[in-house]
Amino acid sequence: MPALAVADSLTARGADVTFIGLARGSGSGLVRAAGYDERTLPLKGLRRRMSVANIGALVLAALALPRAAAELRRRRADVVIGAGGYVGGPVALAAWLSRRPVLLTEADSHLGLANRLVAPLARRVALAFPLRGRRGAKWQVVGRPVSTAVREATRTAGRVAFGIPDDETAILIMGGSQGARQLNNAAVAAFSSDPPFHVIHVAGPGQYDEVHRSLGDAGPRYRLFPYLDNLPQAIAAADLVVSRAGGSVFEIAAIGRPSVLVPYPHATADHQTTNARWLAEAGAAVILADDLCTGDRLREIVGALLADEPRLASMSAAARANGRPEAADRIAEMALELAG
């Protein structure tokens, strides 16, 4: 979660950080587990087409404005950092009306709806990628914040965590937090018959049982997980990562691993394809289209890459050169500068 990485960096610099999120929001558990105070607002997102439901969403946003202003006064906030999402609208407006500086962060390769709406109120916008038409001192390309666990992950520690000898080959396959059926099926078809290397396969909680049934007896070197709390160590342990192309591309790059990226074709604004191209054009990744992601094709690509050690080394160096692991620190420093 990029916002938590920024919060950790701010805390390390002596700042007091409070989150304002959504009531029953998906991030609430993570924020509280990390030890941060979180206040919530009852909001609903706007639908992207004309709908009566949007009237209710706008009423909730209007009612949230004075509550957001009261929270900022109570916390004596010096600066407000928007992390995307519709909760940022009322909070950014309350900050602007009270002459508190607003810093927006955009973690994807397109500017989300909420950030587009409140960008005129912001003094700075920290971007993960360069965006067309977004130039000047206000728009700063810093990368996508990654956690301390990502920045500190090492191959040695990863190998120890997963019990993989240092002189043996390993690949990591992951389809994001929800899993990826096309990628899961291709991985099982490609590598389930006693693979010649170690496979760490993160199938996603919702698809784990289905993949487990399909996998059968693949042997001890093929390890299947619904999810991993120590995913950075799994990335660091791998010689090659096969993955969707969401926010995890920045973790892969920061750790310096070559990758085969399979963008989800229905992602908003097709941002996963843009993410994948960013690493592919840098020489750090190979793109495999979702509709071409079959067991035979995946086995062919992975086998060719693992057999070409100089290319893997070059891809790894290119990934590390483009990873921007300092993004959270850059954003923290921008916030403190705005706060004076």
| pLDDT tens figures, 195-240 | 899 999 999 999 999 999 999 877 889 999 999 999 999 999 999 9
Band of pLDDT at residue 58, cut at 50, 70 and 90: low
pLDDT for 172 equals: 98
pLDDT for 83 equals: 87
Is 56's pLDDT higher than 70? Answer: no
Is 183's pLDDT higher than 80? Answer: yes
Q: Which domains does the chain show, CATH number per domain? A: 2-145+325-339 (3.40.50.2000), 149-322 (3.40.50.2000)
pLDDT for 24 equals: 59
pLDDT for 47 equals: 58
Q: Whole-angstrom Cα distance, residue 165 to residue 169? A: 8
Is 45's pLDDT higher than 70? Answer: no
CA nearest neighbour of 126 among 283, 326, 318:
326
Give 163: exposed, middle or buried? Use CB within 10 Å, 0-12, 13-18, 19+. Answer: exposed
The region of weakest confidence among 45-54, 93-102, 124-133 is: 45-54
- Which residues lie closer than 8 Å to 104 by C-beta, 6 or more apart? 81, 82, 84, 88, 92, 115, 118, 119, 122, 124, 125, 126
Is 188's pLDDT higher than 90? Answer: yes
pTM for this model (two decimals):
0.87
Mean pLDDT across 286-299: 97
Q: Which residue has the higher pLDDT, 269 or 146?
A: 146
pLDDT for 110 equals: 81
Is 46's pLDDT higher than 80? Answer: no
SS3 220: coil
| The token pair that represents 82 in the structure block | 């928007």
Band of pLDDT at residue 39, cut at 50, 70 and 90: confident
Name the helix (H) or strand (E) containing 205. Answer: none
